[in-house]
Amino acid sequence: MSGSTLLVLSLLMPLAGAVLIGLAGRSPNLREAVTMTTAAALFAIVIALLMRFNAGPAPEVMLQEVMPGLKLALKIEPLGMMFAVIASGLWIVNSIYSIGYMRGNKEKNQTRFYICFAIAIMSAIGVAFSANMFTLFVFYEVLSISTYPLVAHKQTPEAKASGRTYLGLLLGTSIGLMMVAIIWTWVATGTLDFTKGGILEGKVSGALAPLLLALYVCGIGKAALMPVHRWLPAAMVAPTPVSALLHAVAVVKAGVFTVMKVAVYIFGVDFLAKTGAATWLMWLAAFSLLAASIVALGKSNLKARLAYSTVSQLSYVTLGAALATSMGVMGGSMQIAMHAMGKITLFFCAGAIYTATHKTEIPDMDGLGRAMPFTYGAFLIGALSIIGLPPMGGSWSKWYLLIATADTGQLVMMLVLMVSSLLNVAYLLPIVGRGFFAGSDAPPAHGAVHAAGAAPAPDTRLRAIKEAPLFCVLPPCLTAAGCIALFFYADSLYRLLEPITRP
């Protein structure tokens, strides 16, 4: 099969999956089998593409010329390749998890859930393989719309309100700002192709470049850079598999991925460095990074805390792009992969805890670690990876970012990164600590026990709690193992990404 056929297939496969899932809606087992098969097939296709990409010229394909000169086209480049591997690989794990979670919690409208999920993955792959900004924009919008039903899934007033915030912010920023930026780029340069070294050099004056960059970056709401981050906590009302794969991986990574693409292929790192257009972005990213961590500290709802942690971690990627140096780009890009693996683990664990105990608030979770050792073990590994401690994958991305700050002499940024790591420790590790050590031995001083009012003594209550179903526990263990593996195999990731850092 030729590379371009594979590329088209990588989009058609999840789409066909969505259709088949719809047809198989009557029989849940068949439906889930279709999901799993589609996910596995998609991963196989993406891996085949990876091998082809490593072996020779990048596969590319032109799908359709929408308007004169404006094409829907796909082309593989390192960053997108990495993103596609992550998204498709984690979809498999997440599908296993979804089965456990959705059935464990007896969610309604599961067919709609799986259909929208498949479409969302299709658009994430589309974003990854886009050959130009227009194609990327198209898939970006499909992604926003296809995930809306997932966010509003529960159909409660709260879910509806969150859905409104979600769609309003994402569509609002992308149509309101990013589209203007894209058309501006088009009017100024006559092309939207992703080109190494950027296309804006000499076409947009240095004074206007920061404004254009602002339109782009604020328009890419999915990157959740403050102040357009509100949709992400809102999206946490969705079932946990959605939060895990979409709002820790596919959707938010599509956002920062787009920021990276814009920085590297539209502006060009040199152009950014020369004009200093990204200086303000660096400060904004630093602010977002710290502020979100501090907000996370104050959140007692586990998923909300993780969401703000995501906002903060995404800013690392934006910061990497804004530093406008090869190491910054490298660190930011690696962060996309590392954070994906780590954060999905954390969300899986949060969902497993919810499935097993129906608890969402951190103070209620004291002592749960002893009842659910696998879940909490995975959580610990994921947390360490997010913090950036060896031997977890997350340490590499932080490392390259630190080098980048040293390279550019941005000592303040270096400080910000260090403080942020400390904050990460402060908001993640206590969860694990309380899980293992707090609770049963201590007197029932926490609100949690009062809330459980009629329940018997805490010990017996805990004993009644067991690990979540296998389908809920296995996935976080797998991804936790992935976090460790990424530490040892970061080299291959480095080699994959290396071409984009060369001028």
Binding stretches for other proteins (CB under 8 A): 64-68, 70, 72, 134, 137-138, 141-142, 145, 149, 152, 155, 159-160, 163-164, 167-168, 171-172, 175-177, 179-180, 183-184, 186-187
CB neighbours (10 Å) of residue 225? 27
For residue 166, the minimal CB distance to other proteins (Å) is 11
For residue 25, the minimal CB distance to other proteins (Å) is 12
**Phi, psi values for residue 205, rounded to 5°:** -70, 155
* Contact predicate 392/384, CB 8 Å: yes
- Three-class secondary structure of residue 360 per DSSP: coil
CA atoms in the 13 A half-sphere facing the CB of 348: 41
CA atoms in the 13 A half-sphere facing the CB of 155: 6
Nearer to other proteins, 74 or 81 (CB): 74
**Cβ-proximal residues to 47 (8 Å cutoff; 6+ apart), any chain:** 85
Strand-pairing partners, residue 130, are 74
Token pair 């969860």 is found at: 431
Nearer to other proteins, 103 or 164 (CB): 164
Query: How far apart are the C-alpha atoms of 332 and 260, rounded to whole Å?
Result: 8
For residue 11, the minimal CB distance to other proteins (Å) is 13
For residue 177, the minimal CB distance to other proteins (Å) is 8
- The encoded tokens of residue 193 equal 């192709």
* Contact predicate 51/1, CB 8 Å: no
CB neighbours (10 Å) of residue 23? 13
* Neighbour-count burial of 102, counting CB atoms closer than 10 A to its CB (0-12 exposed, 13-18 middle, 19+ buried): buried
Nearer to other proteins, 168 or 444 (CB): 168
Number of separate helices (H) and strands (E) present in the chain: 23, 2
Three-state DSSP string of 212-230: HHHHHHHHCHHHCCCCCCC
For residue 138, the minimal CB distance to other proteins (Å) is 4
Nearer to other proteins, 123 or 501 (CB): 123
* Contact predicate 241/235, CB 8 Å: no
CA atoms in the 13 A half-sphere facing the CB of 480: 20
Nearer to other proteins, 50 or 142 (CB): 142
CA distances from 353 to 277, 300, 301 (A): 45, 15, 12
- Three-class secondary structure of residue 456 per DSSP: coil
With vertex at residue 96, the alpha carbon angle to CA 93 and CA 97, rounded to the nearest 5 degrees, is: 85
For residue 332, the minimal CB distance to other proteins (Å) is 27
Residue 35 is given by DSSP the state H
Nearer to other proteins, 72 or 477 (CB): 72
For residue 180, the minimal CB distance to other proteins (Å) is 5
For residue 490, the minimal CB distance to other proteins (Å) is 36
Nearer to other proteins, 44 or 183 (CB): 183
Nearer to other proteins, 163 or 377 (CB): 163
Nearer to other proteins, 66 or 470 (CB): 66
Query: How far apart are the C-alpha atoms of 344 and 421, rounded to whole Å?
Result: 19
Nearer to other proteins, 121 or 386 (CB): 121
